[in-house]
Amino acid sequence: MKQERRPLLQAPAVQALFVLCISFMLALVASQIFGRVAGFVLSPLIFSVLHGALAALIARWRRMASWWPVMLFLFPIAVLLVNALHLPPALFLGGFLFLLLLFWSTFRSQVPFYPSGRPVWDAVAGLLPSGRPLRVIDIGSGLGGAVLHLAAQRPDSTFTGIELAPLPWLVSRLRARLLHSRGNFIRGDYTRLAFADYDVIFAYLSPAAMTALWQKAAAEMRPGSLLLSYEFPIRGVPPDFQVRPQERGPILFGWHMGGKR
């Protein structure tokens, strides 16, 4: 099943950029009106607050996700405060390149870098079918901790991690080589994988990705295979079981594929 990719202009981060540009122009018009009518010149701080407030209002009007109005309100103020520090431009370039390598196309996929942890890996290990070799993949494998841990626990099985961002993928490869792990890491987009090739799929993505993940899993995964998602359920699809790896922590959801619903 070939998934449709979200058009670039529909990506929330790109929409947020448009909102910031439009609200900036509106803030400029408002500052001109204040200057001519009331003789009041907006200070940089007041202008930034106005810019952010307009951006937040537009985001609410556009019905963007709840966190966007807050982020858009704070962004112009944060830019003003950082600019006041007079930091060298090379520092910003270095920070941008580092974040680009770490998050890559998060603006489009809406799947940021989410590390899990040892309790989650142990919970996944306890859910893996025993008595036969398995092909397991961690989609969005980050720094590779889950794959490395599971590969050490189940040497009879094959564990693969797929990661789109270059820096986490590279770290995963280096860790596997240093540890002489049998875990395998590939760089790419999990939406282009053939889910039918795997017995177990583990995901720690984001709420925005879950519907598309389920559509692909339901169409491609073989009967008897297992889909696991940490923290994020699938809207409208009740899980077959739930496990809480840590007390008061997020839930690990599971679905046995191929059954009637």
13 lies in some domain: yes
92 lies in some domain: no
| 240/179 same-domain check | yes
Confidence class for position 254, pLDDT limits 50, 70, 90: very high
Q: What is the pLDDT of residue 114?
A: 63
What CATH number is given to the structural domain containing 185? Answer: 3.40.50.150
93 lies in some domain: no
| 23/142 same-domain check | no
34 lies in some domain: yes
The last residue of one of the domains, among 66, 86, 106, is 86
98 lies in some domain: no
* Structure confidence by residue, pLDDT tens digits, 61-74: 988 767 788 888 98
Task: Please state the φ and ψ torsions of residue 138, each to the nearest 5 degrees.
Answer: -105, 110
Q: What is the pLDDT of residue 228?
A: 97
| 223/149 same-domain check | yes
167 lies in some domain: yes
Query: What are the distances in angstroms from CA 235 to CA 207, 208, 210, 211?
Result: 9, 10, 8, 7
Instruction: Give the structural domain span for 49.
Output: 8-86
| 81/123 same-domain check | no
State how beta strands 135-139 and 158-163 pair: parallel
The last residue of one of the domains, among 45, 62, 86, is 86
Tell me: pLDDT of 207 over 60.
yes
Give the pLDDT mean for 69-94. Answer: 80
Confidence class for position 119, pLDDT limits 50, 70, 90: very high
Contact yes or no for 210/236 (Cβ under 8 A) = no
Q: What is the count of structural domains for the chain?
A: 2
Confidence class for position 238, pLDDT limits 50, 70, 90: very high
| 18/126 same-domain check | no
Q: What is the pLDDT of residue 92?
A: 62
What one-letter code names the amino acid at 240? Answer: D
| 136/247 same-domain check | yes
| 159/229 same-domain check | yes
